[in-house]
Amino acid sequence: MQVATPRPDRDVIGRRRRDRRSPEGKVKKSTERSLIWFEKLHRHGPLPSTFLHAYTEHLCRNAAWARRELADLFHEDSVHGGPYLDRPWQQFDTMDARHHDLVYDLTEAAEDALAETGRFRANTQAPGGPWVHRHMVACITASIELAALARDDIRFIFQDEIVKGPLRTPVPYTHNGRTETRDLVPDAVFALAYRTPAGERYRHFALEADRGTEPGRSNSFDRKSQLRTVLQYRTYVGEGQYKTHLGVSAPMLVLTVTASSGRLGNLIELVAKTSETGRNSFMLFQHLPQFGRYFTPPKPVPSLLSSAWRRAGHTGLRIDYVS
């Protein structure tokens, strides 16, 4: 009896592999649902399938159908040439990857589809560093946007609607009597518009996603550290430099999301020690254990909008309303 040769793009029972393309001869066209997915990936960064389904649940409530469509957009060619979606390889280099939600990112074909429909934008989020860091930033901002979309009193404003030039900007800081100027580059910038009886009120946010890869302090002024970042934000936000840099007038808060509660406590202590009063009202902290040593793509985290963020010397602050 002749035994069929197994296909390299299929597993042992004939299913499509998660980490390589296995086309079945379809040609995909962009739809309203897929264009929403492309736009969110474009403006936030790589996101898990659960996030993408949450954005279009009003168009199709069945999560299994959404996952099937996402799979086709990864495997099959499109009318714009090549597949629309990619599955970044880094997500498979982790423990129990088969049991995690798949993470997707754009291809050039999807960018062409966005440009064709007028949805491609400049100055979208593009944090530096490893892929997991970029994915963490995307999950944080997308979680906040999804939570805002579920309410009628808050509107999420993307970085590309705020930043019209380079996000990188030189910011001076002083430590041990010595002043230096180094570039400050937030991982992301966004804003929230709060609908009130008196009209919309605004608050801007600079985001720092901390996975514990930077030292708390460094003897070198040239090496980025948490101490340097804290001191620079004292100038950028505390002294209002962001208003000139971004051309805005509304207040700004700095959100730092860490991967461990221990790291969070250390950062709050650092902020307190570098303040003359031991207090700081504009630097806020939460932690997401999903981005710790063993990476796991998270589900949407609405608590980033609705729960209190910790501060040095102040009570916690919720960012889903303004007083």
Q: Are residues 110 and 136 in the same domain?
A: no
Q: Are residues 214 and 298 in the same domain?
A: yes
Specify the pTM.
0.93
Asked if the structure places residue 88 within a domain, the reply is yes
Average pLDDT over residues 155-169: 96
Q: Is the pLDDT of residue 6 over 80?
A: no
The strand order across the sheet containing 103-106 reads: 47-48, 103-106, 85-86
Give the angle 195-197-200 at the CA atoms, nearest 5°: 35
Asked if the structure places residue 287 within a domain, the reply is yes
Asked if the structure places residue 300 within a domain, the reply is yes
Q: Are residues 152 and 286 in the same domain?
A: yes
Average model confidence (pLDDT) for the chain? 91
191-245: per-residue pLDDT in tens? 999 999 999 999 999 999 998 766 655 555 566 789 999 999 999 999 999 999 9
Asked if the structure places residue 313 within a domain, the reply is yes
Q: Are residues 112 and 233 in the same domain?
A: no
Average pLDDT over residues 101-112: 96
273-287: per-residue pLDDT in tens? 999 899 999 999 999
Q: 98 versus 20: which is more confidently predicted?
A: 20
Asked if the structure places residue 126 within a domain, the reply is no
Enclosing H/E stretch for 64: helix 63-75
Residue where a domain terminates, one of 116, 142, 169: 116
pLDDT category, 3, cuts 50, 70, 90? very low
Asked if the structure places residue 322 within a domain, the reply is no
CATH number for the domain including 58?
1.10.10
Domain with 35 in it: 27-116
Q: CA 258 to CA 310: how far, in whole Å?
A: 12
Q: Are residues 193 and 309 in the same domain?
A: yes
Q: Are residues 248 and 301 in the same domain?
A: yes
24-68: per-residue pLDDT in tens? 999 999 999 999 999 999 999 999 999 999 999 999 999 999 999
pLDDT category, 292, cuts 50, 70, 90? confident
Q: CA 292 to CA 275: how far, in whole Å?
A: 28
Asked if the structure places residue 39 within a domain, the reply is yes
Asked if the structure places residue 68 within a domain, the reply is yes
Residue where a domain terminates, one of 85, 116, 147: 116
Q: Per DSSP, which regions of the chain are E strands?
A: 27-28, 47-48, 77-78, 85-86, 103-106, 154-157, 169-175, 178-184, 188-196, 199-210, 252-258, 283-287, 309-311, 314-317
